[in-house]
Structure 1
Amino acid sequence: MASDFQGNVSRGVLQMVDSWGKLRDGYLHGTPFVLGLGSFSECIHADSPALGIKGRYCSVFSLDNKTRLRADADAKLRLAQASANVDIGLFTQYGTCIPDACTEADMEESLRIALDGRKKVTVACEALDDRPQFTSGDIAMISFLSVMLAVMATGTAADVYYRAATSSAPNLGVRFLLPFSAYTNLEKMFHVATESRPGVISCLHGMRVLSMTWVILGHQYVFDTLFSVNLKHLQKWTNRLVFQVIANASLSTDSFFFLSGLLVTYGVLKEIKRTGRVDIIMYYVHRIIRLTPPIAVVTLFLGTLFRFLASGPMAYYVTSMYTICSNKWWFDVLYVNNFLAFNETTNQITDCLGQCWYTAADTQMYLVAPLVLFPLAYSPAKGKILLYVVTLASAIIPAAVIYVNDFPPGSLIGGDENVDNSGYQKLVYYKPWCRMSAYVVGIWAGYIIFKQDSKKLHLSPMQVVSGWTVATFSALAALLGMWSYNQLIVEYDFDPMTQVLYGGLHRGVWCASLAWVVVACHCGYGGVVNDFLSHPTWQPLSRLTYSIYLVALPLQLLATFNLKDLVYFSHIDKIIHALGAVFISIVAAVLLSLTAEAPILGLEKLIFRRPGRGEDKPKPISPEGNKGHDNLAFTNDMTEKVDVEEENVIMDGVSSTLGEEAVTQF
């Protein structure tokens, strides 16, 4: 191209040529399908005023045309095949730079002609001045966020005013505005209670935060690993035993299923003991009110404004995500994505919020939980028999599905074409009946803690040591037991016995170990473990885990979408990136909670009065001592303030598991 301009070559033109993607050094050691990304920044900033052109960066994707013989493939696109066992012809990506006078369609058509049908080609281009066009959905989202910001500002101002003007009480209209107060909501969000309270399982705070951090770390190893310059070196980095902490990180979701089952059980049984009944309608309505608004806000943001945040060679993924979120947002909002979002063609789940398969599965188990909990409450003998049957079924069902379909015994990070990982994901990993063992163990733990109530649990030193020993080795067996099979290059074929035993039992065994930790810590046998998990500093992050859960994965994807070059894979880099993702997710989670979670919880308490609430007398406290308390929207006069730590909170599963107080009362 530069030679075509002969003596009139400008610096801008040379920059366009220089920014072209070239076969990089160490190509055979890195990502085989990325020939070279080129220099995105140099291309889009290339400018030749004399010729009136600027640079336009294009990502070119080529896929072998299966209707043509493989022998017809262009030899130039297989230059690495002669020297290594690397097939780069099936799918390739490279970056190039063209004058902005040319369009995506022009580039695509020229490549189709040059390749003469040997490859299917698509092109995604971006210039410095290119910006996505605003749609009606974008404008609606901006309007919604603006209205919410205005309401929060007004609610905060009213809250500050009525705190100062203690001689007057807010009227009904202002009471419905005060739940939006950022002042009070931030105060409650970051409140730390240092004193212990009956009915509070304080060790759940630390367990919840650590499990969420584990989820984020596991995801961090997935997203940009395929774009590593040392991809061929991954086997060395990932075949060690300790890497099973990452390779088997799916157990972190079982931790949340366990916590959900525990808190729902304990909450329902405590409510029945206190009032003699459970409002079954509010049992379901409450969950919808608490979980749906944050999911809806994140989904709508991803389906509108999210695409404005990405730029670079990988930004084309945003278009795909934008399309999915625009068309399939209701999968997540209606909690059906674990059934409807699986794409039969790509064998991938294609809903907007991929992590919300968990919310869907947990909600489905929450819906049927009363069928087990009510017999436990009203007829304990029959209820325990039913729970034994359900426990047995929770192990048999996944084992049977795995054995019949010849699936791997767990989620594997590698394997050859004979390992049906996608089938396992579809029929086992996402399905509630194959994941309910963790939830059922949580029900057992919640029932045990409820029956123990305030009575002292007496265990001998030998029983305590035995309990901790068995729990530790059981957890390690579940976490590390797949080491021989769960590697990038599998050296052993799993046998039917491993499929059945590990596939059916490992999630329940993992959660049984967690159950011992919770019961031991709650009953005074936790020692330093309880001191660590129950430390008050976990509380603020524990309240935010639901919002963190919703925003972390999109933020991690956004970081990948904004990559300008390939990355170098190392464990230290992944840990640093994960910690960065945790910090940014906390900031985003605070904003989401202030917008769509805390105000909804406040409005719910104003609108709905559940049975027995009128009997609870709030403690009068001084205005100076209301740290972590509700504002005046929830008072009958200026001296009655309700402590959020002491009020009766419905424990509804995910909202309690992923962000509410570890309070175990209705």
Structure 2
Amino acid sequence: MGYKAGLVLFLVSLINYDVCAKELRNTAIDKTLLEEVIDAEECDRQINVIKSNSMLLFQFLDAGARVPKGILTGNMVDLGNYHQCLGINLQLEQMHIQGKYCSILVPFSQNIALPLPSSLPFDPSALRIDEETAVQIDEFNMRRKKMRVLSGDFDDFEDDLRSTHPLAHAVFRLGVCVPKPCTTEQAMTSLIFNATEIGFRYTESYCRLLGDKPFVPANVVAITIFACLGFLTLVSTSYDVFYRFVFKKDVKQQSVLCRSFSVYTNGKILSTFSSNPGNLKCLDGIRTLAMVWVVIGHCFQTEPFIANPIDSNVWMISGKALWITIAPMTVDTFFTLGGILLVYTTAAKMKQGTFLRSLHWFYLNRFMRVTPLLAVAVLLQATYYNTVVDGPHWVQVSEWTDRCRNNWWSTIFHVQNIVNPRSMCVPHSWYVAIDFQVYVLSPIILYWVFSGKKHLAWTALLAGLLSVIVASTIFVFHIEVAAGTLVPSRFEEMWDYLALYYFNTLTRASPFFVGLLFGYVLHLYRKEKMQLPWFIAIFFWLCAVGVVAGIVYFTYCIKQFEWDNQVWDNIMNSFMRPAYAVALSWMIIACVHGYAGPINWLLSLDMWRMPARLTYGIYVFHFGLMTSLNAAMLTPFYFSVPRVVFKFLAHMTLAILVSYFFTLLVDTPVSVLFKLLMDAAAKKNKPATKDNNPELNKENAKIEDVKRDLNKVDANHVNDIDNESVPVSSGVQEEPNVVRIADTGVHTDDSVPETK
């Protein structure tokens, strides 16, 4: 029995060790390692050696910070040389000397007592400095924090009214290089000057070591999953290619399951387009342009350090930047498209009874369409993004990595905007969560739309829209927050705006319900052209342009420092987004029914079809790629619009490539497998012999048809996602969506036969 007791004790110890190790090491940056290497005695020994070696001393000093260049243009940052510091690795006099990079915050206001007859107090508020310049520096610091909050990063946000002289709050961020076993205080005191003695004040922000990113269980999971995907892709592609080109067998007899991960077949599916009657071709252009708008907006938002922040701040609050500052409205574009496509692609195919009996497929299909790529993004954020590159300001990426390792489940199940809005993994995916939530609620409306009775459908659609608008209006007038993401006069209220309004399902749902209503209008006129007098069409266009112009003008007004009108803030928060959705819906109707002229021609060009098919993937992946590359930046970025646009082209290209890669390897195969699952379920539920009741047989056949339609329909609705900039709801019409789902039987290409 002794060995059994020993075995139990060993297992208990192993479990306890695993739990403790997980708590200590399952972070993006191993902070315990930073604590373990601190050794004051070893530090003194190494510093003595460094002082006696002028070249080695120069390496440490050279890798550290200088006085930031461009202080009068707002630059308060000098990052030193991150990689040069961590590259110091020498074996001298039986000791291993390595560099450690630390970021320190140095207040501009100091009271330094040099060894002179009298002290030299430095009071920035007494400086004869241009007040406007000082204020602009302060405004930029607050705006940068606010823009980071918009992406889900709340850790840097401070409720700071800054009532005193702005320069009194100015802080330099400097990078210093110290020996590995030293603290910044011990190293600076020994190598440079005695900071405590002369009254030099600073705060250590963080330190980094070579190899401080531990290998954690999440890395094992990622390697295993991606290795399995690679193996399945290799085997499936080999089977497909040999079957087609070596053995030259009949493709119609090929196993759909075995070729489900084939790069050849899935690539052909992604690049094949057909024109089916009833397609809303203009949606491809809308989705693509909206996604471009989102990505370029994030390019302006995610620069961690700017060398000329005053120039950036002046441009951002000017009228020239309106095309960027109104970019958050793009999200409402995708909400609207999602609602339109949901009704337009289902109303002609479903009845109340069959819809209710297939409701579980309705939800499961949607979940399987939006989750795979999002799950890949979560896995990348939790592992790969943290290891592929590195830089002096990696703390933001490491925080998001930790959030994904702890809160991945709330992202996968689309509830993170509710359960942990301040600790979101994949921060921009709050939109996906809201889109999925309104999709879950949509059957309350769709049930009456599928009744086939127009008066019931209109009643349900109008009641749903009015209920959301009324409820959100009451809530908005109760919370009384700002009316935008860039309101200089109300910087301190940014968290309230984001938590209570921007990430709130109730306040963001109205465009989706507007889309449901206009999707029903498009459904009613599916087979005939809407006849409108020319003056009515012109009137609708003027109204749509007026709504957009009003939103642009209001956005400009709230960017002014003197803006203070809570009533108008409440009105715009309540009605701006549904009004925008109505204007967008009219443009879509005008394009479909011939009242848009060159606008429809532009939006319906074939060049939009491929990027539109990838928009969901672009949206999901672009932000993580962008922030990781920006965090690896070694020097502050000099702001100019052309330079940001150039970076946008690089980020957009990379996002398209990554989106295509994972759509090919993950999204399309999952669609094929889920289609096979639905077909298998249909066969299992199908009776072995026909019932003598013809009505019952007819009803069973309808249910099975609905299951197949749900797969096609949801693909349409989700492609709207895949084509979005922020989104899960951007819609795609039947053809592109159907093409995305392999082997749905809708293809005209014989090489992609219907699933048997």
Alignment partner, residue 367 of structure 2: 288
Does 2:206 align with 1:123? yes
CA contact (8 A) 1:401 1:428 kept: no
CA contact (8 A) 2:110 2:201 kept: no
Alignment partner, residue 555 of structure 1: 625
Alignment partner, residue 431 of structure 1: 504
Does 2:203 align with 1:139? no
Residues 306 and 502 (structure 1), Cα distance of their counterparts in 2 relative to 1, 3 Å cut: same
- 1:253-304 deviation line (CA, Å, top 9, x unaligned): 0000001111111122122169964621111010111111221122122112
Alignment partner, residue 467 of structure 2: 393
CA contact (8 A) 1:478 1:507 kept: no
| DSSP 3-state at the match of 2:391 | coil
Structure 2 unmatched runs, 5+: 1-43, 114-118, 130-164, 685-707, 724-730, 739-756
- 1:314-333 deviation line (CA, Å, top 9, x unaligned): 12223212211100111100
Alignment partner, residue 662 of structure 1: 733
Counterpart-to-counterpart distance in 2, 1:528 and 1:107? 67
| DSSP 3-state at the match of 1:201 | coil
Alignment partner, residue 191 of structure 1: 272
Alignment partner, residue 97 of structure 1: 177
CA contact (8 A) 2:342 2:717 kept: yes
Identify which of 330, 335, 340 aligns with 2:409.
330
Does 2:533 align with 1:460? yes
Letter in 1 for 2:565: F
Alignment partner, residue 536 of structure 1: 606
Identify which of 630, 640, 644 aligns with 1:570.
640
CA contact (8 A) 1:449 1:519 kept: yes
- More helix per residue: 2
Quote the sequence identity (%).
22
Identify which of 192, 202, 219 aligns with 2:281.
202
Structure 1 unmatched runs, 5+: 65-69, 343-348, 615-643
Alignment partner, residue 347 of structure 2: 269
Residue 55 of structure 1 deviates from its aligned partner by 5.3
CA contact (8 A) 2:716 2:733 kept: no
Alignment partner, residue 641 of structure 1: none
Alignment partner, residue 21 of structure 1: 65
Residue 416 of structure 1 deviates from its aligned partner by 3.7
Bigger shift: residues 308-317 or 450-459? 308-317
- 1:40-92 deviation line (CA, Å, top 9, x unaligned): 2433345666666655242324499xxxxx99999999775553544465865
Instruction: Give the structure with higher Rg (CA).
Output: 2
Counterpart-to-counterpart distance in 1, 2:339 and 2:332? 11
Does 2:571 align with 1:509? no
Alignment partner, residue 216 of structure 1: 295
Residue 429 of structure 1 deviates from its aligned partner by 1.1
Bigger shift: residues 259-268 or 99-108? 99-108
Residues 402 and 273 (structure 1), Cα distance of their counterparts in 2 relative to 1, 3 Å cut: closer
Matches within 5 A, 1:71-470: 82-83=126-127, 85-87=165-167, 93-100=173-180, 102=182, 114=196, 121-127=204-210, 130=211, 132-164=213-245, 165-167=247-249, 174-193=255-274, 196-224=275-303, 226-272=304-350, 277=355, 279-342=358-421, 349-378=422-451, 379-416=453-490, 420-470=493-543
Counterpart-to-counterpart distance in 2, 1:339 and 1:658? 23
Residues 332 and 314 (structure 1), Cα distance of their counterparts in 2 relative to 1, 3 Å cut: same
Counterpart-to-counterpart distance in 2, 1:531 and 1:183? 32
Letter in 2 for 1:38: G
Bigger shift: residues 244-253 or 383-392? 383-392
Residues 58 and 363 (structure 1), Cα distance of their counterparts in 2 relative to 1, 3 Å cut: same
Residues 109 and 170 (structure 1), Cα distance of their counterparts in 2 relative to 1, 3 Å cut: farther
Letter in 2 for 1:243: A
Residue 5 of structure 1 deviates from its aligned partner by 6.7
Identify which of 637, 650, 664 aligns with 2:714.
650
Matches within 5 A, 1:461-500: 461-486=534-559, 490-496=561-567, 498-500=568-570
Counterpart-to-counterpart distance in 2, 1:383 and 1:581? 44
Counterpart-to-counterpart distance in 2, 1:289 and 1:6? 59
Residue 310 of structure 1 deviates from its aligned partner by 2.9
Residues 79 and 175 (structure 1), Cα distance of their counterparts in 2 relative to 1, 3 Å cut: farther
Counterpart-to-counterpart distance in 2, 1:421 and 1:105? 35
Residue 361 of structure 1 deviates from its aligned partner by 0.6
| DSSP 3-state at the match of 2:557 | coil
- 1:336-355 deviation line (CA, Å, top 9, x unaligned): 1111122xxxxxx3211111
Bigger shift: residues 238-247 or 425-434? 238-247
CA contact (8 A) 2:468 2:510 kept: yes
CA contact (8 A) 2:518 2:585 kept: yes
Residue 582 of structure 1 deviates from its aligned partner by 0.7
| DSSP 3-state at the match of 1:399 | helix
| DSSP 3-state at the match of 1:481 | helix
CA contact (8 A) 1:287 1:655 kept: no
Residues 105 and 600 (structure 1), Cα distance of their counterparts in 2 relative to 1, 3 Å cut: farther
Counterpart-to-counterpart distance in 2, 1:461 and 1:322? 56
Letter in 1 for 2:312: L
Residues 242 and 7 (structure 1), Cα distance of their counterparts in 2 relative to 1, 3 Å cut: closer
Q: Which TM-score applies when normalising by structure 2?
A: 0.74
Counterpart-to-counterpart distance in 2, 1:663 and 1:473? 31
Counterpart-to-counterpart distance in 1, 2:437 and 2:530? 34
CA contact (8 A) 1:544 1:589 kept: yes
CA contact (8 A) 1:441 1:512 kept: yes
Q: Which TM-score applies when normalising by structure 1?
A: 0.83
CA contact (8 A) 1:191 1:540 kept: no
Bigger shift: residues 97-106 or 330-339? 97-106
Bigger shift: residues 203-212 or 230-239? 230-239
Counterpart-to-counterpart distance in 2, 1:76 and 1:449? 75
Matches within 5 A, 1:630-645: none
Counterpart-to-counterpart distance in 2, 1:76 and 1:455? 84
| DSSP 3-state at the match of 1:179 | coil
CA contact (8 A) 1:61 1:91 kept: no
Residue 398 of structure 1 deviates from its aligned partner by 3.3
Counterpart-to-counterpart distance in 2, 1:571 and 1:171? 56
Counterpart-to-counterpart distance in 1, 2:367 and 2:121? 53
Alignment partner, residue 631 of structure 1: none
Counterpart-to-counterpart distance in 1, 2:124 and 2:590? 59
Aligned length in residues: 613
- 1:550-582 deviation line (CA, Å, top 9, x unaligned): 100101111221010111111111211112111
- 1:574-607 deviation line (CA, Å, top 9, x unaligned): 2111121110001111122123211101111222
